[in-house]
Structure 1
Amino acid sequence: MRRATVALAATTLLTLALSGCATTASDATSTFVLPPAGAVPDYQLGGAYDPADGVGIVGRDRSDEPAEGLYSVCYVNGFQTQPGELDAWPTDLLLRRDGETVFDPDWPDEALLDTSTDDRRERIADTVAPWIEGCADAGFDAVEFDNLDSYTRSDDALTLDDNLALAALLVDVAHDSGLAAGQKNTAEDAAVLHERAGFDFAVVEECAAFEECPAFTEVYGDAVIDIEYSDELPRTFAEMCADDESPASMVLRDRDLVTPGHEEYVFETCR
């Protein structure tokens, strides 16, 4: 699963992220709430199930319902096609090289979306917008957008600026829908994604394992949700929990994010 506004609005959002207060979107017409600072998270992209006692934040796919009574984050694959949905995309919105569609080398059933022009970005946003609005209608509190770093897998066909421009469109839809917008991974771009695209918080994978958590916490403060995976821990999870650089909201999960009852299921928290 690892993937790897204006200045005043950005400053306001960061201040509110640090305080954990409700925040007002930049158009001043919509409000959204940030993840509760330090709350215990669970990441359920492999299938929804009843969260354990003490969990305060739950991430689920857009095809699932939010966790009742808990802060719920809706997963949206905003920069690549979702597995099984390739045929739903017009061919000219898929990145192509030498006449062939470009796929993520780590996720060969996910094609990169072509973010290289204003027209394509607008059309991608028009496709993704109903998913975001559906998250809001279902009762989610926030949305996370995966594969912000797809440009790094494009052999220079796409740029950071291309993806920033699309990200800003998607964040605007989220805010207009009353949802907080979460950056997914992409540590090297955290500051610019917050400042130029308007992201409010971050959902990250393995930042403690890769020693990159400060790249997120320096931008989003306590509004960082980290998922570590049990199969590639460079140190014990207890040591990660005790590390001052680790986010306050952190969980240990199995790589495939299976549901309880499965023999590979792992769920461990710092408390």
Structure 2
Amino acid sequence: MRRPLLPLAGLLLLATACTAAPDPDAKATGDRWRPAPGLAWQWQLSGRLDPSVDVPVYDIDGFDHPASTVADLHRRGRKVVCYLSTGAWEDFRPDAGDFPKVLLGKGNGWEGERWLDIRRTDLLAPLMAKRLDMCRDKGFDAVEPDNMDGYGNRTGFPLTAADQLRYNRLIAGMAHERGLAVGLKNDLDQIPKLLPDFDFAVNEQCAEYDECGRLAPFVAAGKAVFHVEYELTTDQFCPQARKLGLSSLRKRYELDAWRQAC
């Protein structure tokens, strides 16, 4: 997730196997996209989308952009990642009213957002299935499920590491069933157990918090690590990022079009 405890709240920016299976997708059998280490990327979640950045990967908000935007990026030679929040409720999403109140916990530090009770997969799985269907139907190549480390935060629920592993694997499996690659967002402590389930990683501020080495298993497995820093300058983190094989950017917290690449 975007680091939640910073003073930026004003910025706006599943019975697990019991959900109905999606229509078969040829990519689900093994042909889905598998991003390799070192791919350049652009991450833009706010502002008017700038499709002109000459990089092979774009990560954009799944709700905010229609299929035509994804198709345009494909015509430009990009793979496109669908950003979704799967571990927190957002009051500004069109499906916000579909979430029972029993699922909603404490705020996660961002305006209009509250942690979800990921133990209640009986309620969450159908909701997340619809969101992943949206990503698939719009033509996205992958999904970035955010807020997937609630067990390490004050959510209002007694979440355990086992709860998180179970939920993260559920989301990964549901994405794969739809032919989507899936990235592990932050959740560094569980990388050793979740590495087989995820196709790439997305990380914020591993250099600032001296954690980038913990992402090495992804690179060693031939899987991309898409990484951003907000507070550090490129000369402070790019040498290490290049050595580790990370795909690293400097971004502003609002994740608009501005970027500085290593």
Q: What TM-score, normalized by structure 2, do the two folds share?
A: 0.78
What is the aligned-residue RMSD (CA, Å)?
2.4
1:96-133 alpha-carbon deviations (Å, 9 max, x no partner) = xxxxxx221x22421111123xxx21320110111112
Partner amino acid, structure 1, of 2:261? T
Match of 1:88 among 94, 98, 102: 98
* Residue equivalent to 1:132: 132
Partner amino acid, structure 2, of 1:110? E
Instruction: Answer yes or no: is 1:254 the counterpart of 2:252.
Output: yes
User: Equivalents in 2 of 1:53, 1:109: separation in Å?
Assistant: 30
* Residue equivalent to 2:56: 56
Alpha-carbon spacing, 1:168–1:89, altered in 2? closer, same or farther (3 Å): same
**Contact 1:48/1:60 (<8 A) preserved:** no
* Residue equivalent to 1:200: 199
**Contact 1:94/1:113 (<8 A) preserved:** yes
Instruction: Answer yes or no: is 1:269 the counterpart of 2:261.
Output: yes
**What does residue range 169-180 of structure 1 map to in structure 2 within 5 Å?**
169-180=170-181
Report how many aligned residue pairs link the two structures: 227
3-state DSSP of counterpart to 1:170: helix
User: Equivalents in 1 of 2:55, 2:48: separation in Å?
Assistant: 14
* Residue equivalent to 2:85: 77
**Contact 1:185/1:205 (<8 A) preserved:** yes
User: Equivalents in 2 of 1:246, 1:176: separation in Å?
Assistant: 31
User: Equivalents in 1 of 2:140, 2:178: separation in Å?
Assistant: 10
3-state DSSP of counterpart to 2:90: coil
**Contact 2:205/2:227 (<8 A) preserved:** yes
**Contact 2:43/2:60 (<8 A) preserved:** yes
3-state DSSP of counterpart to 1:72: strand
- Structure 2: 5+ residue stretches without partners: 6-26
**Contact 1:60/1:75 (<8 A) preserved:** yes
User: Equivalents in 2 of 1:169, 1:187: separation in Å?
Assistant: 18
* Residue equivalent to 1:122: 122
**Contact 1:3/1:149 (<8 A) preserved:** no
User: Equivalents in 2 of 1:47, 1:136: separation in Å?
Assistant: 23
* Residue equivalent to 2:148: 148
Partner amino acid, structure 1, of 2:175? A
Instruction: Answer yes or no: is 1:237 the counterpart of 2:234.
Output: yes
Percent identity at matched positions?
A: 32
3-state DSSP of counterpart to 1:92: helix
- Structure 1: 5+ residue stretches without partners: 5-23, 96-101, 260-265
User: Equivalents in 2 of 1:169, 1:32: separation in Å?
Assistant: 18
3-state DSSP of counterpart to 1:42: strand
**Contact 1:31/1:175 (<8 A) preserved:** no
